[in-house]
Amino acid sequence: MYLLIVAYYLSILTFYIGTLIYALPIPLTGLKRWAPRLITDAFYVMALLFSLSSITALTNIIQGVLGGDWNFFLSYIKAAIAGRAYILVSLGLLRDLLAKTVFLSGIARLISMVINSIAASLYMLLIMYSLSVFVKYSFWTLLSLGLALMAIPFRISRGAGAFLIAFALVFNSALPLYLQFVKTLIFPASPNIGEFIVYGSIVNMNDQVISQGFIGLEYNGEYIAPLPVYSGVYAIPIDYKGNVTVYFDVCGHMFYTNITNVSIFNLCRSLGQGATPFLCNLNLKVLGLIDYRRGVALHAAPFPDHVNVTIFTENYIEVYFVSNQKFDLYISIVDAYNVKSLSLDSQTIEDVDRYIKYRWRWFDLFGKTYVISIPEGLHKVVINLEQSGYEKFEPSEGQIYIAQSMIMNYGNLPGIFDELIRIIYADIIGAALYISLLTSISIGLARVIGGAAKLRMII
């Protein structure tokens, strides 16, 4: 904000300097030529300053339409880095073991070549992740600094400011699209490929947004999970062929949704979305689930008429129910939590552990489910949680990486050597190519932004 204020006052200063040069009684052509330039620059920077929010909103809309999501992208890159590091450690141990055997030393050297390729892939992913974090969290700083540099009189740093603005806009909009770019490199467009992106919001049976959680996808004879959900929005690629079932997979329970054993293509076409063949907006309604947050799920059967979750934190949950019939409230938590206390209508329920009905496994986590009966009418339930000493609250990044790799169709490449080629081609060449492409676009956009003030005002 401070830099934007600096840019604002510098543009005013530039305008006054331009009018002052106009008013000088000295007929110096070289000096007088700066007057219209300075006035034009002042108006131009001011226009950029006041339209900055509109410009960034437009870039975010374009990013969303193309399927980009910062949280999904960063999660995928972190999971890929963790996966590469795990492979490097495992292969390193195997290489050292084989190197001690004379007859297997040749295989050890072959493994060393594989390690070098995967290490190069890891380095490129680290560069991509570092650049992404820098752009994501310095986006407004870069824009503000660029405007401040452009506002300095006499165009002293106009080119540098224009490049910073162009760099921030291009990289912030396009970096989350890197996965789509890599997929294009590996699987070029073909009439035989019938895949498109389904996206939408996630709500419970009272149409209240469920902001966190994981998606499970069952189609083509496979079950792919966990696919993370961010900010109450999901986005998954679906094949045209065959029926699809989408689950909301949290805390050891696979909750059915309104997309159950149906053809997504036919469903999108019936909703009038056939005009957009590669994007389809389908809101996901989760059946039975009230809400989910970081290893804690509330669900009910039968579902009450109305639910209002007023507070949902890691230590305290407060929820109100209105129901015309008796129902069971299920409290499913991972073993990282314990229910410290539970109250119904301000009445504390004694010996909470006796309400544990069953235990479950959720990928690489374990947990338990409490069940309490809620009578009909208006009721308030308060749950106090405490952490039990376990560190994990949700599936590991390795589990997420496996699911995201499957959804990106990486697993369809045959053979370990093809997988190695994919790593070299996609992670090394693809990352360098994508960064170079975005840099070239930024330079071109910087020339447009920095050269737009060459238009002369008629004064």
Residue written as token pair 């949950």: 317
Q: What per-residue confidence (pLDDT) applies to 169?
A: 93
Which of the four pLDDT bands, split at 50, 70 and 90, describes residue 456? very low
Determine the number of helices (DSSP H) and then strands (DSSP E) in the chain: 12, 18
Q: Is the pLDDT of residue 195 over 60?
A: no
The highest-confidence range among 20-34, 190-204, 276-290, 443-457, by mean pLDDT, is 276-290
Identify the helix (H) or strand (E) that includes residue 79. Answer: helix 70-99
Q: Do 45 and 147 meet the contact criterion of CB atoms below 8 Å apart?
A: yes
Which of the four pLDDT bands, split at 50, 70 and 90, describes residue 324? very high
Average pLDDT of the residues in 426-454:
82
Dihedral (CA of 210, 211, 212, 216) sign: positive
Tell me which of 25-29, 30-34, 309-313 is least confident.
Answer: 25-29
Q: What per-residue confidence (pLDDT) applies to 125?
A: 86
Which of the four pLDDT bands, split at 50, 70 and 90, describes residue 327? very high
Q: What per-residue confidence (pLDDT) applies to 229?
A: 83
pTM, rounded to two decimals: 0.55
Read off the tokens for 438. 């975005």
- The predicted-structure confidence for 33-65, as pLDDT tens digits, reads as follows 788 888 888 889 888 888 888 888 888 888 776
Residue written as token pair 């050597």: 417
Phi (first) and psi of residue 338, to 5 degrees: -135, 150
Identify the helix (H) or strand (E) that includes residue 272. Answer: none
pLDDT above 70 coverage of the chain, percent: 85
- The predicted-structure confidence for 111-129, as pLDDT tens digits, reads as follows 787 788 788 888 888 898 9
Which of the four pLDDT bands, split at 50, 70 and 90, describes residue 275? very low
Mean pLDDT score across all residues of the chain:
82
Q: How far apart are CA 383 and CA 344, in angstroms?
A: 9
Q: Which residues contact 180 (CB under 8 A, 6 or more apart)?
A: 66, 67, 68
Q: Which residues contact 43 (CB under 8 A, 6 or more apart)?
A: 15, 457
Give 102's DSSP letter.
G
Q: What per-residue confidence (pLDDT) applies to 277?
A: 46
In the chain, what are the domains? 54-183+415-451 (no CATH), 192-289+401-410 (2.60.40.10), 295-387 (no CATH)
